Amino acid sequence: MTPARPYEGLTVVEAVGGPPGNALRLSAAMAGRIFADLGAKVIQVEDHAPLDTGKEASAGAEALQRFLSARKSIVDCSPNDGFLPGILRKADVAIVDRRVHGSVAAKDLPKKVALLSLFGGRNADADITATEFTVAALGGFLNMVGDADREPLKLVGHQEAYALGLATFCGLSASLAREPSSNHTATIRASLLDTVVWLNWKAVPLEPDAPIPPGRAGASAEWRIVRCADGWIALVYQEPDWPHLCTMVRDERIRQGKFATRQGRLENAVELADVIEQAFLSRTRRQLHEEALSFRLPLGPVWAPEEVLDDPHNAARALFEELPYPLQAPSPIFAPRLPVLWNGSAFSNTIGDMPVATAVGIS
């Protein structure tokens, strides 16, 4: 017998305005997607077509929409529409932005509400135009990696928005777990900037006179991406790992006195990375990865998306599942399964579940 999902019977409404790709819409959609995978009935309110339908619509945008809308009912309804309060009154949980929250009477909102904003605090209601890129810059993400002489590097995809979505889900689920069946009212306030700052906590000095953490050190960085026989591998290690790394490199130059201490390695970071890279050029990413595992070293090979899909470990863990897709599609679209365990159990997510367009007059 298939076990019940933990949120079966719960109704969640996502009602966040803005154009497709808007950071808060993506965040709300990710939170709703997790609730849907855990059994909730999720209604995704769209104030216009979720995707451009012309020739310029990309496969990536379509895959994004399919990933975020799986298991949901989609309702075409403007935040200013008179139908929206009726939809929200039927919900147990609502995920909204300030415009929707301000346009709906408190009596029409469910007891559990997540109110999303870009900046939070005193700027939560400010009408400031910003993107994930802007907020990532304010939170220090663009100063993490790269060369100071080059343009800053943006994190790929929508990692910032998805992190806010996960934080939103966690806040709501904590409130539901506290008093799931009572009339206790809770408003979870979550902002993109707060989430980015928390993720990048190492870049926030904890004392007024603390030194500013270094950023974008380029070739002189302690942790580097170095070449190997068939690509690149991330050189990551801690002080206790140093003897194991020396053994794995198999080049006596790494045992020179100037590399014996962490301070010496920092002062000679460019030369050290070159020694390691020359040693790694004779080995493939797969070979280096296996050796690193044997030494318990956290070195990370840089894989292409198709290599991640075919990775034996990911396959054994059933990390990726095929999204429902039209039969005439040239190739399937895969997405990672739900990134949340419930009491140690993982739930299959997208197989056989298409987004369902629903009339405004829902039951």
Task: Note the pLDDT of residue 130.
Answer: 85
| Sheet-wide strand order for 41-46 | 186-191, 112-117, 93-97, 11-15, 41-46, 72-76, 356-358
Q: 107: which residues sit within 8 A by CB, 6+ positions away?
A: none
Question: How many Cα neighbours within 13 Å face the side chain of 154?
Answer: 11
Specify the pLDDT at position 51. Answer: 44
Non-local CB neighbours of 41 within 8 Å, separated by 6+ positions: 10, 11, 12, 73
- pLDDT of residue 254 exceeding 90, the answer is yes
pLDDT of residue 150: 85
Does residue 60 surpass a pLDDT of 50? Answer: yes
Residue with tokens 């039969």: 327
Q: Encode pLDDT of 47-58 as tens digits.
A: 754 444 444 446
Q: How far apart are CA 349 and CA 38, in angstroms?
A: 8
CA distances from 298 to 100, 206, 234, 255, 261 (A): 45, 27, 9, 20, 19
Question: Looking at the predicted structure, is the pLDDT value of residue 136 above 70?
Answer: yes
Ranking 5-9, 168-172, 209-213, 277-281 by mean pLDDT, the lowest is 209-213
pLDDT in tens, 276-334: 999 999 999 999 999 999 999 999 999 988 888 888 888 887 788 777 665 566 677 77
Q: Taking 60 as the threshold, does the pLDDT of residue 181 lie above it?
A: no
**Gap between the Cα atoms of 67 and 177, Å rounded:** 27
As a whole number of angstroms, the distance between CA 180 and CA 8 comes to 13
**pLDDT: is 299 or 59 the higher one?**
299
pLDDT at 232: 96
Statement: residue 182 has pLDDT above 80: no
What is the band of 103 on the pLDDT scale with cuts at 50, 70, 90?
confident
pTM above 0.75, yes or no: yes
Q: How confident is the model at residue 359 (pLDDT cuts 50, 70, 90)?
A: very low
Per-residue model confidence (pLDDT) at position 329: 62
Q: Is the pLDDT of residue 62 over 50?
A: yes
Dist. CA 198–CA 204, nearest whole Å: 9
The Cα 279–Cα 276 span in angstroms is 5
Query: Residue 168: is its pLDDT beyond 50?
Result: yes
Sign, CA torsion 106/110/113/118: negative
Give the residue among 345, 305, 338 at the shortest CA–CA distance from 68.
338
Tokens, residue 167: 């934080």
What confidence tens digit (pLDDT) does each residue in 78-96 have? 766 778 888 999 899 999 9
Angle formed by the axes of helices 269-280 and 242-249, nearest 10°: 50
Please, which residues have CB within 8 angstroms of residue 114's CB and are 6 or more apart in sequence?
Answer: 28, 31, 93, 94, 95, 96, 168, 171, 172, 187, 188, 189, 190
Q: Single out the residue of 188, 185, 266 nearest to residue 220, CA to CA.
A: 266
Q: Is the pLDDT confidence value at 272 over 90?
A: yes
For the chain, percent of residues with pLDDT exceeding 70: 81
Q: Are 67 and 35 in contact (CB under 8 A)?
A: no
Look at residue 200 in the predicted model and tell me its pLDDT: 83
Three-state DSSP state, 203: helix
For residue range 276-288, what is the model confidence (pLDDT) as tens digits? 999 999 999 999 9
Instruction: Please check the confidence at residue 191 and state whether its pLDDT lies above 70.
Output: yes
